[in-house]
Amino acid sequence: MKFLKFSIVVILSTVVFSCKTSSSGIVTSKEEAQKKGIYTNKKTTTTTTKTVRPNSETNTKPTRKYKINDEEDSDYTVDKENTPYLVKQLIHAASEYEGVKYRGGGTTKQGMDCSGLVSTVFKTYDISLPRSSFEMAKVGKKISQKEVQKGDLIFFKTNGRNVINHVGLVTEIKDDEIIFIHASVQRGVIFSSTKEPYYKKNFAQINRVL
């Protein structure tokens, strides 16, 4: 009887521990991504889901997941900056929105604004950020351009009022040039550079939030 009670306690403890260790939504390694189904190889890039319609008919269709596959070597292999795997996932997810048109207050592929793009991408990996670029600029640690890394947030003052009103996600650093993805009012979600006169003139600050 004592042995039976002890076995039950061990089993219950194991179940509780398992539940606790799987609760985290942030993936920081390739192995974790594979377990959670975020990473897949190029042979299994889609999954099939069933949708039940009002008339009880069943329809199957492929559904794309956020993932990094074997065809995109630069997204998960070690690079010279030793970029964290989570940062590579964020950049990959942001790139999925390239070409989406600009829409004030938008957070979907139907339209996005600058802070909508950044907050939506981070939320995909369970990281909450303020909704506005002004408030977002208060999060994390402010760093210099010399310290910039992929995954940092870059802010601008483009309204002529000396107030931060635009944000982008840093995706690449080339010497003294910073490449970032953002939602432009005129061109939608695009990649831009601090070498461009407009962004060089209106640069405000860089924050590290990870």
- Which active-site residues does the annotation give? 114, 166, 182
Contact of 140 with 208, CB cutoff 8 Å: yes
Per the CB < 8 A criterion, the answer to whether 62 and 48 are in contact is: yes
Q: Closest Cα to residue 109, out of 124, 125, 98, 118?
A: 98
Return the closest-CA partner of residue 147 out of 178, 121, 119, 168: 178
The residue behind tokens 């008339």 is: 55
Of 103, 107, 115, 109, nearest to 185 by C-alpha is: 103
Cβ(68)–Cβ(92) below 8 Å: yes
DSSP 125-189: TT----SSHHHHTTSSEEE-GGG--TT-EEEE--SSSSS--EEEEEEEEETTEEEEEEEETTTEE
Residue pair 150/171 in contact (Cβ under 8 Å)? The answer is yes
Residue 7, CA atoms < 13 Å, CB-side half-sphere: 4
User: What is the Cα–Cα distance from 133 to 154, expressed in whole angstroms?
Assistant: 10
